Amino acid sequence: MVNKKKTMEVILIKDVDNLGGVNEVVKVRNGYARNFLLPSKLAVENSPSNKKQLEERLKQVKKKEDKMLAEINSVIAKLKEGPLKLGAKTGTSGKIFGSVTSLQLSRAIREQRGYDIDRRKISIVDEVKELGTYKATIDFGNGHSTEVEFEVVAE
């Protein structure tokens, strides 16, 4: 006697470990779907009406991503207009007391360009200990990042 396991297709509403991500169509065993995924509101059955809802959700997500991408591109263009100026206290030899941090760079972006960027998204490439021009990378997420030039000047 051949044991045939019944499977069913479901659309995931939330990410499920070792199974798939949100809005993904997956095949699972009937019991797993009926006893765990559906009652836990982690998935819905792959019916024609649920497929239409999925397509609509995907359209909304795409629209939101396009809008966000356009916004990110405008921010990147604004940041690339020219180097940011950062003031720092220096000694007689031109060395800075302390060093320039991503928090100071975040404040400079807010004051000079009008964008509030979280300091945790900014990474300064070199250690800034002297006056001069340096580069920092800003990560916007989803693979979008840009390099920003900033100049450290004496206060």
The pLDDT value recorded for residue 95 is: 81
Q: Are 127 and 87 in the same domain?
A: yes
Structural domain contains residue 68: no
pLDDT at 2 over 70: no
Structural domain contains residue 133: yes
Reported pTM:
0.60
Q: Which CATH number fits the domain that encloses residue 99?
A: 3.10.430.100
Confidence of residue 119 (pLDDT cuts 50, 70, 90): confident
Q: Are 52 and 81 in the same domain?
A: no
Structural domain contains residue 108: yes
Q: In terms of residues, how long is the chain?
A: 155
Pick the more confident residue, 125 or 106. 106
Q: Are 143 and 79 in the same domain?
A: yes
55 DSSP assignment: H
**Among candidate residues 47, 48, 90, 76, the one with its CA nearest the CA of residue 140:** 76
Number of H helices and number of E strands within the chain? 3, 7
CA dihedral 105→111→117→118, nearest 10 degrees, is 60
Structure token digits, residue 84: 């940011």
- Give the pLDDT mean for 61-74: 87
Confidence of residue 4 (pLDDT cuts 50, 70, 90): low
Q: Are 10 and 52 in the same domain?
A: yes
Q: Which domain holds residue 5?
A: 1-57
The pLDDT value recorded for residue 59 is: 93
Q: Are 85 and 50 in the same domain?
A: no
Q: Which CATH number fits the domain that encloses residue 25?
A: 3.40.5.10
pLDDT tens for 31-56 read 999 999 999 999 999 999 999 999 99
Q: Are 143 and 117 in the same domain?
A: yes
How far is Cα 134 from Cα 128, in angstroms, rounded to an integer?
Answer: 8
Structural domain contains residue 147: yes
Q: Are 149 and 104 in the same domain?
A: yes
The pLDDT value recorded for residue 93 is: 77
Residue 65's SS3 state is helix
**Among candidate residues 5, 1, 21, the one with its CA nearest the CA of residue 13:** 21
For 133, list phi and psi in degrees, rounded to 5. -105, 135
What's the chain's average pLDDT?
A: 86
Q: Are 86 and 138 in the same domain?
A: yes
Q: Are 81 and 143 in the same domain?
A: yes
For 56, list phi and psi in degrees, rounded to 5. -65, -45
pLDDT tens for 81-99 read 888 888 888 877 778 888 8
Report the Cα 62 to chain-centroid distance in Å: 15
Q: Are 44 and 104 in the same domain?
A: no
Pick the more confident residue, 7 or 92. 7
What's the structural domain count of the chain? Answer: 2
Q: Are 103 and 49 in the same domain?
A: no
Structural domain contains residue 67: no
Q: Is residue 9 a contact partner of residue 27, using CB atoms and an 8 Å limit?
A: yes
pLDDT at 3 over 80: no
